[in-house]
Amino acid sequence: MSSVFYNTGVKAYFSLLRLISPWHPKAKKMIQGRRHALSDLEQKRKKGVPTIWMHVSSLGEYEQGHPLLERIRKDLPEAEVVLTFFSPSGYDVRCNTPLADIVTYLPADTSPELKTFIETLNPTVALFVKYEFWLNTISILHQKKVPVFLVSAIFRPNQVFFKSWGREFKEALRQYDHLFVQDENSLQLLKSIGLSNDKITIAGDTRADRVCQIAVQPKEIKEAEYLREDAMRKGQLVLAIGSSWEEDEKIILPYLLTHDNVRPIIAPHEVHEKHLSHLEELIGKSNLVYLSQKPSEAEIANAKALIIDGYGLLSSLYRYADITYVGGGFGKGIHNTLEAIAFGAPVVFGPKYHKFREAVSLLKEGGGFSIASKEEADRLMAKLISDKDYRQTAGEKAERYLSANKGATDAIFAKISDALENRLNSR
């Protein structure tokens, strides 16, 4: 098992969650949801069928695993699929997904019931998506000879695996049967700590497959369509701003509000009252309409901006845009740029993008642009809006990048299918 230090840290984290849960809704959900995880599994678990277990942290990782779940459902219909979450922000949104037979929480990695949970689950194959490294969970699966795969992972030199004191985490990586990474840098880092080539595959990012799926069958947002049509009649462009924070809006919106040749559709990362009030102050309450209020075509024509004050529409929203902006780059880091380029528009984002492989690549390829100040935003917006060839060429480069990165799902599924067959034959 893992070190005393690791176990103490995990226990302290969940103790803190219990302490603050009476006043913190998310912490309360994390604690209460785990109380029922084992009983949920015991009640719903099928007997005598192969079980594929996928564990994800939250909604973003679920979206990363989504194409793989779809493929498993389609090509392995006899298998039972169990999906576990770490965070309620993923569980609450996807707890009823038809892609899994059972959806629940993963017990805390130091929980007394963890081993019972895994024994009850009895997975034929286990999949962990991107950043999930629970040492005790991986150790139990390894002891039980369950094939364990890491999907769409990215590794960086500053991570614990590559530190002199990260021995237990290095050992956990060795217990994976196969690691599917997104890039060459990750492969070389893993080789530097002794993992062999035959345990690692550069498969790319499954999100590329996911956003391409969405682009083929996007949701229709009629209010966004109204704004798009009105903008075209008036010779205006549309800028879709996704997952924005106040820091993003202060940088990107001033130019848009002083020029009549562009209209924004804004999907804020958070839609609570404080953030919406900030947008009203910035844009002017009379200049915007909210999707939730079901504005008429005439009301949208008279508005400067449309606010998407709900969830689940962002990936389809970008279809209405000539230019896209992805938020988070003036805070902890940018959100999903792959969604933003799915319909062939260039993407703009803030300065904190270096941890995101796709953003770095889009900048290099010319399909993405980074801004660090209001002045840079003003200059870039002026260029993208006024120069049609420049804008369209950037959009084409973004679309080519996305197309070139498809196919991760096929590579991963082939390996999982082989492991599943081998495991069933050995029983």
Same domain, 249 and 377: yes
* Whole-angstrom distance, CA of residue 10 vs CA of residue 133: 12
Residue 50, φ and ψ in degrees, nearest 5 = -65, 140
CA 314 to chain centre: 12
* Each residue's pLDDT tens digit, 124-146: 999 999 888 899 999 999 999 99
Q: Let me know whether 296 and 174 are in one domain.
A: no
Whole-angstrom distance, CA of residue 398 vs CA of residue 347: 8
- If you search the block for the tokens 């991760």, which residue do you land on? 408
Terminal CA-CA length for the chain: 26
Based on the fold, state whether residues 55 and 185 are members of the same structural domain.
yes
251 & 189 share domain? no
Q: Are 165 and 237 contained in the same domain?
A: no
- The closest alpha carbon to 249, from 239, 235, 259, 260, belongs to 239
Residues 230 and 373 in one domain: yes
pLDDT per residue as tens digits for the range 273-283: 899 999 999 99
Kindly state the DSSP code that residue 287 receives in the 8-state scheme.
Answer: G
Which pLDDT band, with edges at 50, 70 and 90, does 165 fall under?
Answer: confident
CA–CA dist 391, 377 (Å, integer): 15
Query: What are 84's strand-pairing partners?
Result: 55, 104
The closest alpha carbon to 201, from 183, 177, 176, 180, belongs to 180
Same domain, 417 and 390: no
Statement: residue 1 has pLDDT above 60:
no
Reported as a pLDDT band with limits 50, 70 and 90, residue 174 is very high
Say yes or no: 93 and 191 in one domain: yes
Q: Could you tell me which of 170, 168, 171 has the C-alpha nearest to residue 3?
A: 168
Does 60 map to a domain? yes
Residue 214 lies in a domain: no
More confident residue, 355 or 229: 229
Indicate if the pLDDT at residue 271 is higher than 90: no
Contact between 204 and 405 under an 8 Å Cβ cutoff? The reply is yes
Output the six-digit token pair for 27: 């912490």
| 213 domain-assigned | no
SS3 (DSSP) at 370: strand
Q: DSSP states of 248-264 as a string?
A: HHHHHHHHHHT-TTEEE
In a domain, 76, yes or no: yes
Whether residues 106 and 31 share a domain: the answer is yes
210 assigned to some structural domain: no
Kindly state whether residue 215 falls inside one of the protein's structural domains: no
Look at residue 2 and tell me whether its pLDDT is greater than 80. no
- DSSP letter (8 states) at residue 161: G
Confidence of residue 424 (pLDDT cuts 50, 70, 90): confident
Domain count, the chain: 2
Give the tens place of pLDDT for each residue, 15-42: 999 899 899 989 899 898 898 899 989 9
161 and 230: one domain?
Answer: no
Q: pLDDT tens, 94-125?
A: 999 999 999 999 999 998 889 999 999 999 99
Domain for residue 212, yes or no? no
Q: Is 287 contained in some domain? A: yes
Separation CA 363–CA 367 (nearest Å): 6
Q: Which residues pair with 105 in a beta bridge?
A: 85
Domain that holds residue 182: 4-204+407-425
* Pick from 413, 267, 198: nearest CA to 276: 267
Count of all residues that appear for the chain in the document:
427
Q: Are residues 162 and 28 in the same domain?
A: yes
Kindly state the average pLDDT of the residues 313-338.
94
Confirm if 327 and 244 have CB atoms less than 8 A apart.
Answer: yes
Flag whether pLDDT at 204 surpasses 90.
no
Task: Assign 385 a pLDDT band (cuts: 50, 70, 90).
Answer: very high
Q: Whole-angstrom Cα distance, residue 235 to residue 320?
A: 15
CATH for 108:
3.40.50.11720
Average pLDDT of the residues of the chain: 93
The CATH number of the domain holding residue 254 is 3.40.50.2000
User: Do both 63 and 171 map to the same domain?
Assistant: yes
